Amino acid sequence: MAYIYPKTYFGDKIINTKDANLSIASSAILYGLSVYTVFPVIVNKDKKLAFRLHEHYKRLINSARIIGIDTFEPQWSEAKFIKAAEEIIKTNGVKNDAFVRASVHVCEQLPGTRSRGQKTVLSIFIYEAKPILPLSGARLKTSVWRRIPDYAIPSRAKVNGAYVNSVLAKQDALDSGYDDCIFLDTSGHVCELSAGNIFIVRDNILITPAVSNDILEGINRKTILELAADLGMKVAEREVDLTELYVADEIFACGTSTLVAPVIEVDKRKINSGKMGPITGKIQKSYLDILNGKDKKYSNLLTTVG
């Protein structure tokens, strides 16, 4: 289990993490009616750098809009949100790379199955930055569970209740001896992992499922697409068949908690040589250089938070 820092921003103040609780009668507990985002904080010498903080704030806003949570945005400007994040990072005295999870919870009690006009509370807590996939190479299993389609629960909204879908799929993969799952959509096309986007390389073309394939429009996915374009790689966003994974030259997953993780096996089929490929290696290195502030070209993606 990852270490969780002792202080949490909850509502409008900083309290002990153990005391940051929601009522069992709240919509967040009853219906999973919370939206969230997770962003990394990199400790770089005497600075603490948050990655694409503007986009993470925007993700909270967009997720709330999609679900119909309409009381958060009027109360929380981006400046106020960043200040709260800075305060909790400073209070916890973060000295190592960490993940910061910010959530908007509908805390109204027994409101019924509705979302508009309901009271919300913001929580921000920090935990150890432990990748959820092995960076040396992950083994994946096609899930027996299909990805929830956008017409059932919107894939673009990072809503807590929807992650039951991911729990079912990942637990099935773990029970079968794999590191994670691969979701297919209702048409049988590749979507993503339980908590990360997927890329494949075929004939030197970097390919990833389109945003219309019931995927989360990942912030790190966006970063990889921008990075690949800058590196002069050919990129395609399109439908991907499962069997394309079996014959791919390279596969990797990406996400805040995934970083850039090579995939070396899918459904007991070794991917090419069974080792991280050269394009994955180049993207992984470039991505980590951006996170750590080593590539000045992308310094605008980093916000100093301490």
**What confidence score (pLDDT) does residue 306 get?**
86
Phi-psi region of 34 (alpha: psi -120 to 50; beta: other; left: phi over 0): beta
The runs of H, that is alpha helices, within 47-163 are 53-67, 78-91
Are residues 161 and 247 part of one domain? yes
Q: What is the CATH number of the domain that holds 58?
A: 3.30.470.10
Query: Domain for residue 57, yes or no?
Result: yes
Residue with more model confidence, 7 or 44:
7
Residues 172/143, Cβ–Cβ less than 8 Å: yes
Band (pLDDT 50/70/90 cuts) for residue 1 is confident
The verdict on residue 35 lying in a domain is yes
Specify if 133 maps to a domain: no
Which tokens is 264 given? 């070396």
143 and 253 together in one domain: yes
Query: Cβ distance 87 to 14 under 8 Å?
Result: yes
- The alpha carbon of residue 128 and the mean position of all alpha carbons in its chain are separated, in whole angstroms, by 15
- Cα dist from 297 to 201, 294, 300, whole Å: 25, 9, 8
Q: Which residue segment(s) compose the domain that 143 sits in?
A: 138-291
pLDDT of residue 38: 98
For residues 65 and 2, which has the higher predicted lDDT (pLDDT)?
65
221 and 97 Cβ atoms separated by less than 8 Å = no
CATH number for the domain spanning 286: value is 3.20.10.10
Residue 2 lies in a domain: no
Question: Is 303 among the domain residues?
Answer: no
User: What's the pLDDT score for residue 23?
Assistant: 97
- Structural domain contains residue 222: yes
256 is a domain residue: yes
Q: What is the pLDDT of residue 45?
A: 83
Give the pLDDT confidence of 96-150 residue by residue, as tens digits: 999 999 999 999 999 999 999 999 999 999 999 999 999 999 999 999 999 999 9
Amino acid identity for residue 277 in this structure: G
Q: How many domains does the chain have?
A: 2
Q: Quote helix, strand, coil % in the chain, to nearest 5.
A: 30, 30, 40
- The share of the chain scoring above pLDDT 70, in percent, equals 100
Are 22 and 124 within one domain? yes
Q: What are phi and psi of 143, to 5 degrees?
A: -75, 145
Give yes or no: residues 115 and 185 share one domain: no
Do 282 and 142 lie in a common domain? yes
Give domain status of residue 296, yes or no. Answer: no
- 113 and 144 housed in the same domain: no
Given a cut of 90, whether residue 55 has pLDDT beyond it is yes
Query: Average pLDDT, whole number, for the chain?
Result: 97
Q: What pLDDT band is residue 46 in, cutting at 50, 70 and 90?
A: confident
| Residues 273, 164 within the same domain | yes
17 and 49 in a single domain? The answer is yes
Residues 6+ apart with CB under 8 A from 247: 202
Picking from 128, 155, 176, the residue at the C-terminal end of a domain is: 128
Identify whether residues 145 and 259 lie together within a single domain: yes
Domain's final residue, options 105, 128, 151: 128
State residue 17's pLDDT score: 98
C-alpha angle 106/108/112, rounded to 5°? Answer: 95
Q: What is the 3-state secondary structure (H, E, C) of 215-265?
A: CCCCHHHHHHHHHHHHCCCEEEECCCEHHHHHCCCEEEEEECCCEEEEEEE
Q: What are phi and psi of 51, to 5 degrees?
A: -90, 125
**Amino acid identity for residue 35 in this structure:** V
| Whether residues 257 and 169 fall in one domain | yes
Residues 282 and 173 placed together within one structural domain of the fold: yes
Last residue of a domain, one of 71, 105, 128: 128
What is the C-alpha to C-alpha distance for residues 203 and 200, in angstroms, rounded to an integer?
10
**Domain co-membership, 39 together with 99:** yes
